[in-house]
Amino acid sequence: MKPIQLPHGSVAIVDDEDFDRVNSYRWYMTGNGYARTNKNVGGLQRGMAMHRFILEIQTGDERIVDHIDGNRLNNQKANLRICTHAQNLRNQKRRRDNTTGYKGVTFDVKAGRFHAQIRNNGARKHLGHFDTAEEAHAAYCAAALELHGEFANFGDQT
């Protein structure tokens, strides 16, 4: 693993075998946290994300690359996988505006209990009401493993 220095002190990491190829470009970090460069494609300057560059996915190719650990600057091949848009969404972290501290859990004021739910293929699945946020989160985690498999993300970090 080798670091690629980005402006303003940010660092992306890549595999040793990709370092020379990646480091031959000037990279910057986008507002949403990805490493990006401008690359000459057919005589035109095109933006290229580092993770797509490493997996050699060309501009115009609509395939999606997922960062398994959620770290957009960890561009080691073992952390990257091709996926569908739905799979990529399943691997999202807990939302920053979450007030319970647990992904898939909200507090139902009317019921006075914690409510667990999960989305799968665009449909919301209610998992039940629970006395504690921890119990509701356990139900979410079990459903995420069952429905999302390797793309299950329990939202343990923001």
CB 96 within 8 A of CB 75: no
| The pLDDT value given to residue 40 | 78
Rg of the chain (C-alpha set): 19
With CA atoms as reference, report the closest residue to 118 among 158, 86, 96: 86
With CA atoms as reference, report the closest residue to 3 among 71, 73, 51, 72: 73
Query: 84 CB contacts (<8 Å, ≥6 apart)?
Result: 64
Distance in angstroms (rounded) separating the CA atoms of residues 106 and 124: 14
Half-sphere exposure of 69 (CA within 13 A, CB side): 10
Q: How do the pLDDT tens digits run along the chain, 158 residues long? A: 999 999 999 999 999 999 999 999 999 999 999 999 998 777 888 889 999 999 999 878 889 999 999 999 999 999 999 999 999 989 988 888 999 999 999 999 999 999 999 998 889 999 999 999 999 999 999 999 999 999 999 987 54
| The pLDDT value given to residue 71 | 95
| The pLDDT value given to residue 42 | 79
| The pLDDT value given to residue 157 | 52
